[in-house]
Amino acid sequence: MPLYKFKAVSATGENIEGTENASSKGDVIQRLRDKRHYPVSIEEVIEKDIRDIQIFGHISIKHIAVFCRQFYTMLAAGVTIMNTLDILKQQTEHKRFKGIISDLYEDVQKGFTFSEALEKHPGVFPQLMIYMVAAGEASGSLDVVMERMADHYEKEFKVNNRVKSAMVYPIILMVVATLVVIFLLVVVMPTFIGMFQGSGVELPLPTRILLAISGFLQSFWHVLLGALLVFSLIMRRMASTPEGSRTFDRWKLRIPLVKGLTRKVVSARFCRTLSTLLISGIPLLQSLDNVAGAVGNKIVGDGIIAAKDEIRKGAALSVPIRKLGFFPPMVDNMIKIGEESGTLDDILDKTANFFDEEVETEIQRMLTFMEPIMIVVMGVIIGFIVISMVLPMFDVLQTVQ
């Protein structure tokens, strides 16, 4: 039975707070009134267990893709939804996902539809999937819908995996180079400086600058580490707010190094999601609402929602999409061809496949551009450190001579 936290005022004007186990808010209100208390606020207490903590049990798009594929396979084999969920919860090794599938099983057993059960876990199952499952239940083609969802999320996982894999090498290179620089400044540099200062030679300007940096790192490393942690937390907090998320998404569309990749990833998601919805018989205007949430960029999503007004007035989809300016020219041209030929869903699917390949090409292009820049920057930094340590040696030699 749900637990409710309440605030109320008694007949004598005293403020009262407490909790009540009840079947609904109405029961809590009635109990308070029976005690001659005036309810001020009533909130359900959501109890969380360890499996609800994302950091320990994150459910990725890969889990969703596998779930959809297995669900489709069993439905196509004639297994009922109840038995399918029962089998999936037994064979799933991911603890948190196993618990969620168990919740789905119990909800369906209580009489909820499968889409209603999925809707109780909005942070786990994408809104697109919930919407498509509801459409599949209404049309009696749930197995077909689950197959399309499996294909959709498998392709989505491949795109995401390519992007993440591409960033591994630059991140490792950056971390290793940073650790090398810190080691030189904190461990190696003080040894040389102590020797040079003992010789009585005046240290050159680059060496003095490096000495100041080394001293700062040794004395205030904890302050610097704390500042980095605070900055990271602030950025994460900003990204979790609607306005902050829009700001980051806007940067992704404008920063020269990543805007090409961002636009192609967004284009692939837009074409694939819209194709999946149209193939399933969902009207265009309703499809665009789900597409806006699936592209992974709030700025682009807002533009897609705004484009609905022009389409509602009779404009072809290609017209507002071209005006948005977020997509490469190929997208609106292919949409126009699909509209004229009556094969928009098929054209969009082929366009999505094209941009999947373009994403990989763009990743390689970005890495090819980033690697020499990172090597040059780290070479300059390490070169400056080496020169700063070598210069005093020449001064010592001249003094000895």
**Number of residues in the chain:** 401
Rounded Cα distance between 45 and 5, Å, is: 6
Q: What is the pLDDT of residues 79-134, one digit of tens each?
A: 999 999 999 988 888 888 888 999 999 999 888 999 889 988 877 888 788 888 88
Sign of CA dihedral 349, 351, 357, 358: negative
Tell whether the model's pLDDT for residue 230 goes beyond 90. yes
pLDDT of res. 67: 92
pLDDT of res. 45: 60
Which pair of tokens denotes residue 24?
A: 């609904």
pLDDT of res. 69: 92
Tell whether the model's pLDDT for residue 204 goes beyond 90. no
pLDDT of res. 50: 35
Average confidence (pLDDT) over 197-218: 76
Q: What is the pLDDT of residues 133-166, one digit of tens each?
A: 888 887 788 888 888 888 888 888 887 787 777 7
Element (H, E) at 58: none
Q: What is the pLDDT of residues 278-329, one digit of tens each?
A: 887 888 888 888 888 778 888 998 899 888 888 888 888 999 999 888 898 9
Q: What is the pLDDT of residues 319-360, one digit of tens each?
A: 999 988 889 899 999 999 998 888 898 899 899 889 888 887
Q: What is the pLDDT of residues 44-88, one digit of tens each?
A: 664 443 333 343 456 888 899 999 999 999 998 899 999 999 999
pLDDT of res. 3: 65
Strands (E), 195-340: none
Q: What is the pLDDT of residues 375-400, one digit of tens each?
A: 888 888 888 888 887 777 776 666 55
Rounded Cα distance between 145 and 135, Å, is: 8
Element (H, E) at 6: strand 3-9
Tell whether the model's pLDDT for residue 257 goes beyond 90. no
pLDDT of res. 23: 64
Q: Are 216 and 189 contacting, i.e. CB atoms less than 8 angstroms apart?
A: no
Which of 166, 173, 168, 167 is CA-nearest to residue 361? 166
What percent of the chain is modeled with pLDDT above 70?
89
Average confidence (pLDDT) over 265-280: 86
pLDDT of res. 184: 78
Amino acid at 7: K
